[in-house]
Amino acid sequence: MAEISEKYNTKCPGVKRLMREAMELAEATEEYCARPLEDNLFEWHFTVQGPKGTDFEGGIYHGRILLPKEYPMHPPHIILLTPNGRFEVNKKICLSISGHHPETWQPSWSIRTALLALIAFMPTPAEGTIGSLDYSPAERKILAKKSVTWACPQCGEISALLSSTAAKPITEEEKSVLNQIAFKAEEEQTAKPPEEPVVEPEPQVLESSEPTNSFLDQLTEILVALLVGAIGIFIYRRWNAHYPASETEL
Amino acid sequence: MADDASSSSGCAGNLIDNSINQDELIMKQQREIEKEISETIPLVGELEALSSLEKEYNEDPVYLLKVKDLSSKYKYIRRTRPDGNCFFRAFSYAYLEHLLTDKSEFDKFYEIAKNSKEILVALGFSQFTVEDFYETFMEVVQRVGEQAGGSPDSLESVRAELHDKFNKQGYSDYIVVYLRLVTSGQLQTENDFYQNFIEGPRTVTEFCRQEVEPMYKESDHIHIIALSNALNVGVRVKYMDRGEGSQVSKVIAHDFPEGSKPLVHLLYRPGHYDILYA
């Protein structure tokens, strides 16, 4: 912590807040643990216990938390790293309020809120939401078993990260909040548009020149055919005009 | 049976998904507009003569009449960024500015502000996040308190400091968040009373979670009533809209709480609040 306070401007509210959260979450619990990377206060790694009584029971899942520079005014993003059968791995997912009130993140929520919400959300049906996976209970149970031996290149064996201490109990306020939070991946459209115009002009030019070429070809073919036909008719008439007489003469 | 149930819930899920996608598109566009606004308009602007309003309504006789009516009572206006937080930002700026010249009001307010955190924690808000906003809020309040009632010179420098803090996103937004929490706390404490103001089937708590606590959500009467009651501060809002009838040339005023002595004067134009000065 001392190093972090030297490196960042602690007058900046986001930094002060994250240092506070790091202290709040310093001790690992049975259900979850999270801490900032040593060199970046705005990226954390977390570990959560699969919720009991679900397909994820016994599983341990690890991931990254990315905090926007506007945190806590804007919500954190979560990326799962351990295969789990509920969320795609290595894909940014974000919190939203289910139903008709998306993105009503509140600055008084915290990383703990996000982790508790993630645990609560895991057993909910995927329903085709972006970033969600709809694996069968059997597949999820296999992944849960496998997850125990999963290791993070930065944090090591994830099974060693959780402790046996129970986390602070969930308050009434938190409970009502957790029921409303949903997770899904970001719309990818936001990332794509800048790329498309760069890639597309070429094929577009090719495509647009091709149809006009073939149209011209067709037109000349028709013209040539008409011309040949016209000459043919002309010669036939001339021939008719010259030879009927000779025919009768013969 | 089971199949029926799951397929129908699947349909419902799709419907919700579609509406979310619509919402997302709208929000994306909204975010782009917000970005443009944040790049061009300061969080809280400089003091301007009220006549600057006339320029906005050069070709609008109805509004020009109203600006004229307004200018019989007010000389200056201070604009705030239209980001949905304008009521909270305008209110806190104007009130803290007033407190600089009113030491006894400051002492009264300080007691209320100091006790506000406990009320929120008792309501179940997470202690350490509430504390985070509370501390930043109180830091600014204390700076005002140190100078309240001071000499004109010292007031000038603390005014500049206040203006600077209100234009630093970090401080400014933290103050807004804290006042949103205080407003939510008041609504939830006086739950029975405020339920009457909420349209539709929402409970007070749901309303707070959706319309009060999140940033960038615009304020309505109910927000102003709750905050002015929670802090016991009189607010006068002058409503400038296209109201017809005998009052057409007048700008109607509302005092919150009713019958109080207004210390903060705000100008409301549909969707936005700015600060007014006599």
Could you give the count of Cα atoms lying within 13 Å of B237 in the half-sphere of its Cβ? 24
> For the complex shown, is ipTM > 0.95?
no
Closest-CA residue to B21 (of A210, A185, A180, A31):
A185
Reply yes or no on whether the pLDDT at A211 is more than 50.
no
B17 is catalytic: no
Residue B215 with chain A: CB contacts under 8 Å:
73, 106-107
A102 vs B24: CB contact, 8 Å cut-off?
yes
Q: Using N-to-C axis directions, what is the helix angle for B152-166 and B127-147, rounded to 10°?
A: 150
Asked if A21 is an interface residue toward chain B (Cβ–Cβ < 8 A), one would say: yes
Q: Which of A74-83, B40-49, B58-67 has the lowest mean pLDDT?
A: B58-67
Q: Which residues pair with A78 in a beta bridge?
A: A65, A93
Average pLDDT, chain B: 88
Q: Which two tokens stand for residue B231?
A: 């802090």
Reply yes or no on whether the pLDDT at A11 is more than 70.
no
Q: Tell me the pLDDT band of A171, cut-offs 50, 70 and 90.
A: confident
Task: Say which residue, B196 or A205, is predicted with more confidence.
Answer: B196
The C-alpha of B210 sits at a distance from chain A's nearest C-alpha, in angstroms, of 7
Reply yes or no on whether the pLDDT at A98 is more than 50.
no
What span, in angstroms and rounded, lies between the C-alpha atoms of B47 and A56? 59
Q: Which two tokens stand for residue A192?
A: 């794509």
Asked if A169 is an interface residue toward chain B (Cβ–Cβ < 8 A), one would say: no
Task: Check residue A58 and give its pLDDT.
Answer: 95
Question: CATH number of A1-191: 3.40.50.12780, 3.10.110.10, 3.40.30.10, 3.30.70.1400?
Answer: 3.10.110.10
Distances (CA, A) of B5 to A121, A125, B100: 21, 14, 64
Task: Check residue B246 and give its pLDDT.
Answer: 60
Cβ atoms B110, B141 nearer than 8 A = yes
Residue A168 with chain B: CB contacts under 8 Å:
none
Q: Tell me the pLDDT band of A25, cut-offs 50, 70 and 90.
A: very high
Reply yes or no on whether the pLDDT at B271 is more than 80.
yes
Q: Which of A125-129, A180-184, B154-158, B166-170 has the lowest mean pLDDT?
A: A180-184
The residue with tokens 């003469």 is A249
Give residues with Cβ within 8 angstroms of A128, minimum separation 6.
A134, B13, B14, B17
DSSP letter string, A139-206 = HHHHHHHHHTT-EETTTEEGGGTS-SSPPPPPPHHHHHHHTTEEEEEPPGGGTSTTHHHHHSHHHHHH
Residue B188 with chain A: CB contacts under 8 Å:
none
pLDDT tens per residue across span A213-230: 556 667 677 777 777 777
Q: DSSP assignment, residue A54?
A: S
Reply yes or no on whether the pLDDT at B225 is more than 50.
yes
Interface of B with A (CB under 8 A): 10, 13-14, 16-17, 19-21, 23-24, 27-28, 123-126, 128-130, 132-133, 136, 169-171, 173-174, 177, 181, 205, 209-210, 213-215
What span, in angstroms and rounded, lies between the C-alpha atoms of B216 and B83? 6
B98 is catalytic: no
Phi (first) and psi of residue A86, to 5 degrees: -115, -40
Return the percentage of chain A with pLDDT > 70, whole number.
73
Q: Using N-to-C axis directions, what is the helix angle for B221-231 and B169-189, rounded to 10°?
A: 90
Q: Tell me the pLDDT band of B14, cut-offs 50, 70 and 90.
A: very low
pLDDT tens per residue across span B65-98: 899 999 999 999 999 999 999 999 999 999 999 9
Average pLDDT, chain A: 79
Task: Check residue B5 and give its pLDDT.
Answer: 38
Domains of chain A, by residue range, sit at 1-191
Domains of chain B, by residue range, sit at 19-277
Reply yes or no on whether the pLDDT at B15 is more than 90.
no
Reply yes or no on whether the pLDDT at B16 is more than 60.
no
H or E, element range at A47: strand A40-49
The pairing of beta strand B76-80 with beta strand B262-269: unpaired
Task: Say which residue, A176 or B40, is predicted with more confidence.
Answer: B40
Reply yes or no on whether the pLDDT at B194 is more than 90.
yes
Give residues with Cβ within 8 angstroms of A188, minimum separation 6.
A130
Task: Say which residue, B178 or B241, is predicted with more confidence.
Answer: B178
B60 is catalytic: no
Return the percentage of chain B with pLDDT > 90, whole number.
67
Q: Tell me the pLDDT band of A241, cut-offs 50, 70 and 90.
A: low
pLDDT tens per residue across span A108-163: 999 999 999 999 999 988 887 888 899 999 999 999 999 999 999 989 889 889 88
Q: Using N-to-C axis directions, what is the helix angle for B169-189 and A13-24, rounded to 10°?
A: 60
H or E, element range at A102: none
Cβ atoms A154, A37 nearer than 8 A = yes
Distance of CA B54 to the CA centre of its chain: 25
Give the class (CATH, top level) of B19-277: mainly alpha
